[in-house]
Amino acid sequence: MDAAGDVAERIFDEEDANLQEVRDQSQEFKEELDQKSEVSERNLGRVSDATAPLEGREVIDEAREIKEGFLEDLEMLREFRDRVAEVLDRDEEVRAELHRVREGGEQ
């Protein structure tokens, strides 16, 4: 029985390490998305500021298209960031459950 417990503990430890690695990578990805979102928001502000004094229909239309592109990019980044946050939350729940199961098995 001790051998089975040792094997189970080793497997739990390995899975816990794997989950931590995935969590770390997900956290890094979320931070990158946050940074890109901030850059896109600043760029959107710059485009908005730059288009205010422009004259000429073609220039204004082109600037509007660029602005719309930034808005779409921002929305996509927000959706990715939200999905990563959900994955991180779910990961935390799974890790907590894994630890509860592990602690329950050690008693």
pLDDT of residue 105: 59
pLDDT tier, 5 (very low <50, low <70, confident <90, very high otherwise): low
Q: Average of pLDDT values for 71-93?
A: 85
Residue range(s) defining the domain that contains residue 67: 2-106
pLDDT of residue 52: 66
Total domains, the chain: 1
Q: What is the chain's mean pLDDT, rounded?
A: 79
pLDDT of residue 51: 65
- The overall pTM is greater than 0.85: no
- Structure tokens of 64? 């509007």
The answer, yes or no, to whether residue 106 has pLDDT greater than 70, is no
Q: Average of pLDDT values for 28-32?
A: 83
Contact 52, 67 (CB under 8 A): no
